[in-house]
Amino acid sequence: MELITPDVGTLFWMLLVFLTVLFILTKYAWKPTLKAIQNRSQTIEDALKSAEKAKEEMEKLQASNEKILAEARVERDKLLKEARSMKDKIISDAKEIAGQEAKGIMEAAKVTINNEKIAAISEIRDQVANLSLQIAEKVLRQNLENDKNQKDLIDNLMNDMKLN
Amino acid sequence: MNFRCRRVFLSIIIFLITSLVVGTVAFSSEPENKNHSENPAEKKAFNAGEFMFDHIKDAYEWHILSWKGHHVSIPLPVIVYSKTSGLNIFISSKFHHGHESYKSFKIEKEGKYKGKVVEEMEGGAVVRPFDISITKNITSLFIGVAIMLWLFLGIAKTYRKNPNKAPKGVQAFLEPLILFVRDDIAKPAIGEDKYEKYLPYLLTVFFFIWINNMLGLIPIFPGGANLTGNIAITLVLALLTFIITTVSGTKDYWVHIINMPGVPLLLKFPIPLLPFIEIMGVFLKPFVLMIRLFANITAGHLIILGFISLIFIFGNMSPIGGYGISILSIGFSIFMMFIELLVAFIQAYVFTLLSAMYFGMALEKAHH
């Protein structure tokens, strides 16, 4: 029976001590501790959020970097292409001009050659005519020294005429 | 972190087991030497019931061991107020373990006030004075509370000193428990928005019960008092839960008790059966809280003491029997100690959880 009868002294001390401890712990232990835990979890949450944000920004940055890089690559390709076409054009232009110039020179050369040729031909013709006359003169002078020869000649000539 | 917690836990368990073994040795010297001290001719039989109840009852001195007829105990202050001689404060060693009286006070050996300080009146009648002595249980209460203050004021300081740091040491051990009370007891039982007001009380109750349960399991000083197995202690705890529940009761709560909506009228009128049951429940709930903790802890102590009594019962028959049974008894006691370690936590949890649920019920709004 004694075991289940609350003792007044124990009740008194327990009430006093427990309420005091409840007060002290509430004020100096539970509130600061719970607040600190709350603050810490808030800080951790914030840190996680800002890390997430930083990651996102990083990703964005990376994406824009890639975009810039891609643009730069396109630009480079364009520049290269332009340069190549410019080069081709310069070369073809140069070729054309060179061809035309060469053609002009050739034509001029042809004209000159032709003129020279004509001049040469007419000179040769004169020379040939002169030489022929001299030869003919000499031949005639030799062959016509006797009558027979003269007659042969005439015959021959006559024959030729007949043939014609 | 996990490893560290486990190590702390392991060392507590090892400490308890070592204490048990040492305590067992301390117990074992007792009855034998009692025989030496008193007249060896009249052999006093070992009374297991008395032995067990002596160990779970409160006392005016803290008995540590008896060695060769000398009782080694820590005397504690006796504070009594009597109508005739006023306030008396003296040390309990004046009683010489209850054999002598001091002034007009003595420890009653028989009858209604057995084991309590009584005052002898002139006519020979004994009167119980108002007794607020620092008994064994009260000393244990002070020790338990000192441990609580040391632990929690200590970690509060650490929290203040290093805010936003990972917990370390004792803090790392206690923080999960604090969070356990907050997130697994207070929040679900009371509700996310209102739990904060009740959390300090719940935390105090939880750690008070748990720490004192654990202290009660240590068989030697500074443990061994059956504090949480004392009905007065559990009464105060249950009373506080009752007061808080009653004070925070909303209108809906009282309406539900007196005039439960949605039930047939016949249950309420002409015989107010349901209101009667509900009002009974209001008082029954804290009453059950009180009994549950008291009974669980006392029963645990009794079982362990029972196993140890077996050694002396058999030892009285034959020394070989005593040694033989001691192997079995110590084995069972160790097993029980582990169970009691679990019970120490479970009872703290159950008391706190039920308190939180009663607060939650008192705060509940009508939902129909």
Count of domains forming chain B? 2
Minimum distance, in Å, between the CA of residue B156 and any CA atom of chain A = 5
d(CA A17, CA A30): 17
- B224 shares its domain with B354: yes
CA dist A151 and A13 (Å) reads 188
- Does B327 reside within a domain? yes
The last residue of one of the domains, among B68, B98, B133, is B133
pLDDT at B13: 57
Judge whether B285 lies within some domain: yes
B278: tokens are 């509900």
Would you say residue B112 lies in a domain? yes
Task: Among A3, A11, A36, select the one facing B160 at the smallest CB separation.
Answer: A36
Q: How far does B265 lie from chain A, in Å, by closest CA?
A: 40
* Chain A contact probe: residue of B158, B233, B301 with most A CBs at under 10 A: B233
Look up residue A149 and give its two tokens: 């020869």
Render pLDDT for A70-81 as a digit per residue (tens, 0 to 9). Answer: 999 999 999 999
Residues of chain B with pLDDT under 70: 1-44, 366-368
Question: B193 with B205, same domain?
Answer: yes
CA distance to A113, A120, A128, B248, per residue, from A125 (Å): 17, 8, 5, 148
Phi-psi region of B96 (alpha: psi -120 to 50; beta: other; left: phi over 0): left
Whether residues B103 and B245 share a domain: the answer is no
Question: How far apart are the C-alpha atoms of B31 and B36, rounded to whole Å?
Answer: 9
- Omega cis (within 30) before B270: yes
User: What are the residues whose beta carbons fall under 8 Å from the beta carbon of B19, sequence distance 6 or more?
Assistant: B218, B219, B220, B223
CA-to-CA dists, residue A102 to A94, A116, B329, angstroms: 12, 20, 127
Position A3 pLDDT exceeds 90:
no
pLDDT for the residue numbered B44: 62
Check if A121 contacts B (Cβ < 8 Å): no
Chain B residues with beta carbon closer than 8 angstroms to that of A7: 58, 131, 230, 232
Q: What is the pLDDT of residue A135?
A: 85
CA distances to B153, B177, B181, B207 from B203, rounded to whole Å, are: 13, 9, 7, 6
Contacts of B148 in chain A (CB under 8 A): 21, 25
Report the alpha-carbon distance of residue B234 to residue A14 in Å, rounded: 9
- CA torsion, ordered A149, A152, A157, A160, to nearest 10 deg: -140
Closest to B332 measured CA to CA, from B348, B313, B308, B312: B308
In terms of Cβ atoms closer than 10 Å to its own Cβ (0-12, 13-18, 19+), residue B124 is: exposed
In chain A, which residues have their Cβ closer than 8 Å to the Cβ of B141? 13-14, 17
Q: What is the pLDDT of residues B60-108, one digit of tens each?
A: 888 888 787 788 888 888 898 888 888 888 888 888 877 788 888 888 8
Size of interface A-B (CB pairs under 8 A): 114
For residue A5, list chain B residues with Cβ-Cβ distance below 8 A. 231
3-state helix, strand, coil in chain A (%, to 5): 95, 0, 5
Pairing of strands B117-120, B105-107: antiparallel
Residues B81 and B174 in one domain: no
- Report yes or no: B8 and B173 within 8 Å, Cβ to Cβ: yes
Residue at B235 is within a domain: yes
Residue-by-residue DSSP string for B127-150: E--EE----HHHHHHHHHHHHHHH
Per-residue confidence (pLDDT) for residue B349, from 0 to 100: 96
Interface test with B, best of A1, A4, A8, A34 (most B CBs within 10 A): A34
Measure in Å the smallest separation between the Cα of B272 and chain A Cα atoms: 32
- In a domain, residue B96? The reply is yes
Residue that wins the pLDDT comparison between B336 and A2: B336
> Which domain covers residue B271, as residue numbers?
136-363
Contact A25 B236 (CB under 8 A): no
How large is the ipTM? 0.82
Q: Which residue of B has its CA nearest to A1?
A: B112
Regarding whether B153 and B121 lie in a shared domain, the answer is no
Q: Do the chains contact at A8 and B237, CB–CB below 8 Å?
A: no
Co-location of B205 and B337 in the same domain? yes
Residue found by looking up tokens 């003919």 in the block: A136
From A47's Cα to the closest Cα of chain B, the distance in A is 11
Whether residue B199 sits in one domain with residue B119: no
Domain borders along chain A are 31-163
Q: Is residue B205 part of a domain?
A: yes
- The pLDDT assigned to B366 comes to 62
* pLDDT on residue A150: 77
Does B250 share its domain with B144? yes
A110-125 pLDDT, tens digit each: 999 999 989 989 998 8
Shared-domain flag, residues B153 and B118: no
pLDDT of amino acid B38: 42
Is the minimum CB–CB distance between B178 and chain A shorter than 8 Å? Answer: yes
- Does B256 map to a domain? yes
Name chain B contacts of A28, Cβ cutoff 8 Å. 153, 156
How many whole angstroms separate alpha carbon B3 and alpha carbon A155? Answer: 150
Strands B61-67 and B70-75: antiparallel
Tell me if A8 and B233 make a contact (CB, 8 A cut-off): no
Regarding whether B230 and B124 lie in a shared domain, the answer is: no
How far apart CA A67 and CA A61 sit, in angstroms, is: 10
**CA of B105 to nearest chain A CA: how many angstroms apart?**
16
3 state DSSP class of B26 = helix
pLDDT at B368: 52
Q: Which two tokens stand for residue B28?
A: 């074992």
**Based on the domain organization, do B146 and B109 belong to the same domain?**
no
Closest Cβ–Cβ partner in B53, B58, B115 for A10: B58
Quote the Cα angle for A52-A58-A59, to 5°: 90
Q: Is B328 among the domain residues?
A: yes
Which one-letter amino acid corresponds to residue B338? F
Query: Two tokens at B306?
Result: 């029972």
Residue B91 shares a structural domain with residue B218: no
